[in-house]
Amino acid sequence: MVAALGGLLFGYDTAVIAGAIGFLEIHFHLDAAMTGWAASSALCGCMAGVLFAGAFSDKMGRKRTLVVAGCLFLAGSLGSALPREFSTFVWFRILGGIGVGIASMASPMYIAEIAPARFRGRLVSVNQFAIISGMVVIYLVNYAIARHGNDAWRADYSWRWMFASGILPSAVFLVLLAFVPESPRWLFEKGRRDEAIGILTKVDGPGNARLEAATIEQAIACESGSVSQLFAPGMRKALIIGISLAVLQQVTGINVFLYYAPEIFKRLGSGVDVALMETIVVGAVNLLFTVVAIWLVDRLGRKALMIAGSAGMGICLLGLGWAAQAGVIAAGLLVLVLGYIACFAISVGPVTWVILSEIFPTKIRGRALSIVTLSLWSANFVVSQTFPMMDGNQWLAARFHHGFPFYVYAVFCVVLVAIVWKLVPETKGRSLEEIEQDWIEAALRGTR
């Protein structure tokens, strides 16, 4: 749960922009491109963060990496609340984004490495639950802050309080990290066997600890620890799968609804208070169905959830495109948005992180996840930057009436279904070392 607080801060820090973006647009007199930059600038920090986090976590440990993330969250929250210049705001958003990028990789990796195989899907999904919890909390905080004062006060000060509110959860995260152990798999890799076995014993009892220790040591002995291992036969397929899932999780449009939901609802006829309340409903549905995913992921498996959820997302996006084009009222669109969010939360949201945390060898897991998570944040940046530009394009608006972006994201849902069906292996109930051995055997079969 402590490690998953990194996920909570991830959700809190990225979703705070949803309530603040309209007021930032007014305060700093932003055009469509600069509005997109206000929302997506933190994602540049996320990309930088994952580049740093992989090598750091492999060298210095998973726990220390989470501590660095917490410090950057704290600094970014404070700095984003104080600036007079838009450029200063952007720099502090990038700084906080570095913390988000680090946590987005380090939290699920730490959980996967410390969790018993039979519970790993559920426990890594708890990280996604924490991400969504952070989003719901900040939606509520944004709503409470935005209800105070007149329009002038909101434009000048409300967004400052929204960003400053992140100081408290950041401080709590840093304090609690003092009480968690290091990843046992990282300790084995560094030769600190007694410490690692002690942690495994606390997690799953002495009998399971001995068995787990034997398989971990055997797997580590076969690993080179070189990044070039990622591009070897077998592992190369794992890397392709990881990058594909990471990119497609984003380009299917989820962060359009998480970052721009109030503005979408306002454009479709809702007032400020109603739009923020509808955003809270979106967050609550996201949270509820993430709980369902936690319950299902170790029962039904990864592939079934991913295929069903991706298909459902695509159907809802087609409905949203048609509804926006046909001028359907906001209430009708809200139903489709909630359907899309439910499908994402039960599948692509948590299960992508589960798969990404499972498919790479221990010695290079940090660096591998850096590459994959960099791809994820790069795709997130592209989506966040281009949505206001597509949505505000007069030529597209005249023909699709704000529906065009939803059609684009629906096409990517079809691609996601195809890739999961054809390429992604089922990893339910298998140890990380068993999954790694499958890639090695596949590579050996391919060279014969």
What DSSP string runs through 262-321?
A: HHHHHHTT--HHHHHHHHHHHHHHHHHHHHHHHHHHHHH-HHHHHHHHHHHHHHHHHHHH
Structure tokens at 375: 């791809």
- Taking residues 38-62, report their average pLDDT: 84
Nearest to 392 by CA among 260, 271, 276, 248: 260
CA distance 364 to 4: 22
CA distance 234 to 229: 9
Query: What pLDDT is recorded for position 177?
Result: 93
**pLDDT band with cut points at 50, 70 and 90 for residue 344:** very high
Whole-number Cα distances in Å, 341 to 8, 167, 170, 177: 18, 28, 27, 31
pLDDT of residue 447: 47
Evaluate if residue 448 carries a pLDDT over 50.
no
Tell me what the pLDDT averaged over the chain comes to: 83
Query: In whole angstroms, what is the distance from residue 218 CA to residue 213 CA?
Result: 9
Lowest mean pLDDT among 163-172, 190-199, 267-276, 292-301: 267-276
**Do the Cβ atoms of 383 and 256 come closer than 8 Å?**
yes
190/182 Cα distance (integer angstroms): 12
Residue 231 pLDDT > 80: no
User: Is the confidence at residue 258, as pLDDT, over 80?
Assistant: no
Q: How high is the pLDDT of residue 51?
A: 80
Count of residues for the chain? 448
* Tokens read off for 74: 């704290």
Q: So what's the pLDDT on residue 342?
A: 92
Q: With beta carbons less than 8 A apart as the criterion, state whether 436 and 219 touch.
A: yes
Does residue 260 contact residue 39 with C-beta atoms inside 8 Å? yes
DSSP 347: T
Flag whether pLDDT at 226 surpasses 80.
no
Report pLDDT digits (tens) over 378-431.
898 888 778 877 776 667 666 666 678 889 999 999 999 999 998 888 878 777
Answer yes or no: is pLDDT of 105 > 70.
yes
* pLDDT per position as a tens digit, 184-205: 888 988 888 898 899 889 888 8
Work out the widest C-alpha separation in the chain, in whole angstroms: 73
User: pLDDT: is 151 or 16 the higher one?
Assistant: 16
| Percentage of the residues of the chain whose pLDDT score is greater than 90 | 22
User: What CATH number was assigned to the domain covering residues 5-180+222-447?
Assistant: 1.20.1250.20
pLDDT for residue 23: 85
CA distance 167 to 149: 23
Q: What are the structural domain ranges in the chain? A: 5-180+222-447
- Band the pLDDT of 175: cuts 50, 70, 90: very high
Overall average pLDDT of the 30-53 stretch: 83
How many other C-beta atoms can be found within 10 angstroms of the C-beta atom of residue 93?
A: 27
Cα(74)–Cα(335) distance, integer angstroms = 36
User: What residues contact residue 84 under an 8 Å CB cut-off, 6+ apart?
Assistant: none
92, exposed or middle or buried, with CB in 10 Å at 0-12, 13-18, 19+?
Answer: buried
Q: Classify residue 426 as left (phi > 0), alpha (psi -120 to 50) or beta.
A: beta
Tally of CB atoms within 10 A around 179: 7
φ/ψ region of 277 (left if φ > 0, alpha if ψ in -120 to 50, else beta) reads: alpha
DSSP 229: G
Q: Are 89 and 80 in contact (CB under 8 A)?
A: yes
Residue 270's pLDDT is 56
H or E segment and range at residue 392: helix 365-392
Count of CB atoms within 10 A of residue 143's CB? 18
The residue-averaged pLDDT of 242-269 equals 79
The burial of 313, by beta-carbon neighbours within 10 Å (0-12 exposed, 13-18 middle, 19 or more buried), is given as: buried
Distance, in Å, from the CA atom of 282 to the CA atom of 410, rounded to the nearest integer, reads 19
- Residue 265: the pLDDT is 67
pLDDT at residue 100, rounded to an integer:
87
Percent of the chain with pLDDT over 70: 87
For residues 359 and 330, give the distance between their C-alpha atoms in angstroms, rounded to a whole number. 41
Both tokens assigned to 70: 């917490």
3 state SS of 151: helix
Measured between alpha carbons, how far is 140 from 257 in angstroms, rounded to an integer? 16
Distances (CA, A) of 353 to 111, 138, 249, 284: 11, 22, 10, 20
Give the number of other CB atoms < 10 A from CB of residue 150.
7
